[in-house]
Chain A
Amino acid sequence: MKYLLALFILTLSTLGFSTHASDIKNANEIITKANLASYYSADDGSAQARMIIVDAQGNKQMRQFTILRKDQADLGNQDMLVFFSRPTDVQGTVFRVVKKVESDDDRWLYLPALDLVKRISAGDKRTSFVGAHFFYEDVSGRDPAEDNFTLLKTDDKFYTLNAVPKDKSSVEFDHYIVKIDKHHFLPMQVDYYNNQGKKSRSMHVLKTRVIDGFTTVIHSKVTQHTDGSFTEMQFRNVKYNVGLPDSIFSERSLRNPPKEWLK
């Protein structure tokens, strides 16, 4: 109820910005723009992130890491490196992803205590990212080609779309409803529903900031409705077009993190 009220106030307060003439009618066009805004801002980027993971009993865990990303092409393949600094047992752990649009992503995890480069099988995209309520796919981006989208509603602030997965056996939800900001095209709220039609999981953007001309999510939250547990994620020190060289996206960076790009 509280949330509905907040949303209502939010909607009211933004009524003034509506530009009906330029509304996009094609769902796929909206999703393409949303995908670009969410995961392909600039040609590369770096950011520091932290997550607070709160379970149903209120117990908290923290994760802190630095992300480096480089696009091979807009809406195409991407290289990504995630360097963990907290908690102490994952300090020095590095996660490397080659996100591939045409095939399964390549993923590796470097475990410094064993000096082990462990490759991770591609199947488990929708499992928890290091214990958080965010999935691997939430971090690297879900391929829009995996869902069929229909535009449900266009109001002054949002495009509201319904997404139905083409292969329901590959996911834990039945469908999801995404609200995409009409101005900067970031998905501001995503609600996942189970096959009983009940809301099972939600993602909310709590705060955005314009950095180097790109509207950027700097605070978001994923809630598991079945037990009230949630994860909040914050970003700081977000930089775009920093000129990350291709060569750092390799096994070398796992054992020897590229310090000059992690400041």
Chain B
Amino acid sequence: MLFIKPIVDFSIVQKSTKNSLLLIVSLFLSWQSLASNMEISEEGDWGDDTWVEEVASPWTFSGFTEAGYGYLLQHNIVDSHTSLNEITTRLNLDYSHESFDLIAKGELIYDDILSDLFWKTRELNIRFSPTKNTDVKMGRQILTWGTGDYIFLNDLFAKNWQSFFSGRDDQYLKAPSDSIKGTWYMGDYSISLTWTPEFTSDVYLTGERFSFYSPKAQDIVAPADNFIVQKTKEAQWAARIATNKNGVEYAFYGYKGFWPTSVGMTKTKNQPLQSYFPKMNAWGTSVRLPLAGGLFNAEYASYNSTEDTNGNDPFIANGQNRFLVGFEREVMKNFTASAQFYIEQTKNYDQFIAHSATPETEVKENRQLLTFRLTYRAFQQKLIYRLFTFYSPTDIDGYLKPSITYRYNDQWIFSGGANLFWGDKKHTFFGQHQQNTNAWLRVKAQF
């Protein structure tokens, strides 16, 4: 099971969708009455002209319950035609001390696709400053850096692609890792170093929810439980030096670890081929600045596939050069548009093709990608329309992510959207996901 590692494994509660729907409805009804009570008490506070002194407790508790449902819109070889069918209760508990912070975030999830109820720890960390100019964060945490929008170059921290494809909230695109992050501040400069003692890979597609192209089978596959990947327990390191000079942000990055997805095949004698995470080192740089009333960003990363430096090994991915430029600005009031252009250049391309068993379906030497994001906010930002599109002129495929979010009040948030993939060929990056095209709905109650 790659998707989730249950820490506390509860027994399966209910298998049928009908029952889980009933559970959702009853939970929400009981929540609604609680939420409306809260609203009235807040109104009372506001009615008084003075502030009601809040009890200064070091503890903060919050959370939400969210139900999500998604459906595959095309015929797919995966077992379940629901791409999302779950109810999640998130609990956040923070403790703030003068010299440290404790952060605990976890979720109780009933996932009907897995027919399983389980607990998942999202964050569990301590943050403190051992010296005046140093911050340390230790434990399970979300790590992010880099300038790309849904495109990652120097951010090699774990992503959850299953969440991204199934329409879960954006925050779930970032998967947590058990790491230590230290940051040193010196004037305008900061140096961050992250150490993840046990390599944390992306949450990639396994065929459980979404099918994908297998170069070995030369077809779309959905192996699900049969998708075996060899894990590694070695450490990964990432570093960043960042500075801001007159509003222009510069950063330099380094990485030592593994490819975040299993882009290698083991060649152990007398054993079937198995996917694994080959070693990879990377370095890169980025810049972000205001320009022409908007924001401009550029980023570069060099991926060195150290187990296949000359690119001769067809079982291990070649290194890459990744280039990104982007621009964002508000084109009209409440309407923001952004565009990015991205090139993924495969290093030692001639050797790569010469040693490939299937050169005709291999990626182009310079894979190009264009993205556009449109965001329109209406009704005091309560209604937000979003459209994100990926389009590859070299692969001739694409991915559209439209969504609408309606914030009814501070308690209730409704959203709906789709993940639409297209492409002529089943081996290209987005083309392989055409049958994974899905639509989804989510209802969230915050407390």
Please indicate whether A and B come from the same complex rather than being unrelated chains.
Answer: yes
Q: Are A123 and B46 touching (Cβ within 8 A)?
A: no
Q: Which residue of B lies closest to A133 (CB)?
A: B380
A61 within 8 Å of B (CB atoms): yes
| B193-209 near A? 1/0 per residue, CB < 8 Å | 00000000000000000
Using CB atoms and an 8 Å cutoff, list the residues of chain B in contact with chain A.
39, 42-43, 46, 49, 51, 60, 62-64, 92, 96, 98, 127, 129, 135, 141-144, 170-171, 173-174, 183, 185, 190, 242, 244, 247, 249, 288, 290, 293-295, 328-330, 333-334, 336, 377, 379-382, 407-410, 413, 446-447
A166 within 8 Å of B (CB atoms): no
A55 within 8 Å of B (CB atoms): yes
Interface residues of A in 86-141 (CB under 8 A from B): 86-89, 91, 98, 100, 103-104, 106, 111, 113-116, 119-124, 126-128, 130-133
- Given A91-B62, A131-B380; A123-B329 close (CB under 8 Å): yes
- Given A61-B409, A87-B410; A113-B171 close (CB under 8 Å): yes
A255 within 8 Å of B (CB atoms): yes
Using CB atoms and an 8 Å cutoff, list the residues of chain A in contact with chain B.
52-53, 55, 59-62, 86-89, 91, 98, 100, 103-104, 106, 111, 113-116, 119-124, 126-128, 130-133, 172, 207, 219, 229, 232, 234, 236, 247, 250-252, 255-256, 259-260
Residues of A within 8 A of B334 (CB): 124, 127-128
Residues of B within 8 A of A251 (CB): 190, 242, 244
- Given A62-B42, A122-B293, A251-B190; A87-B288 close (CB under 8 Å): no
Q: Are B293 and A127 touching (Cβ within 8 A)?
A: no
Q: Which residue of B lies closest to A206 (CB)?
A: B49
Q: Which residue of B lies closest to A207 (CB)?
A: B49
Q: Are B333 and A126 touching (Cβ within 8 A)?
A: yes
Q: Which residue of A lies closest to B90 (CB)?
A: A88
Q: How far is the CB of B406 from chain A (nearest CB, A)?
A: 12
- Given A88-B447, A119-B295, A132-B380; A250-B408 close (CB under 8 Å): no
Q: Are A114 and B290 touching (Cβ within 8 A)?
A: no
Q: Are A234 and B329 touching (Cβ within 8 A)?
A: no
Assembly CA distance A259 to B64 (angstroms): 26
Give the residue of B135, B144, B407 whose beta carbon is less than 8 angstroms from that of A116.
B144
Q: Are B446 and A128 touching (Cβ within 8 A)?
A: no
Q: Are A104 and B293 touching (Cβ within 8 A)?
A: yes
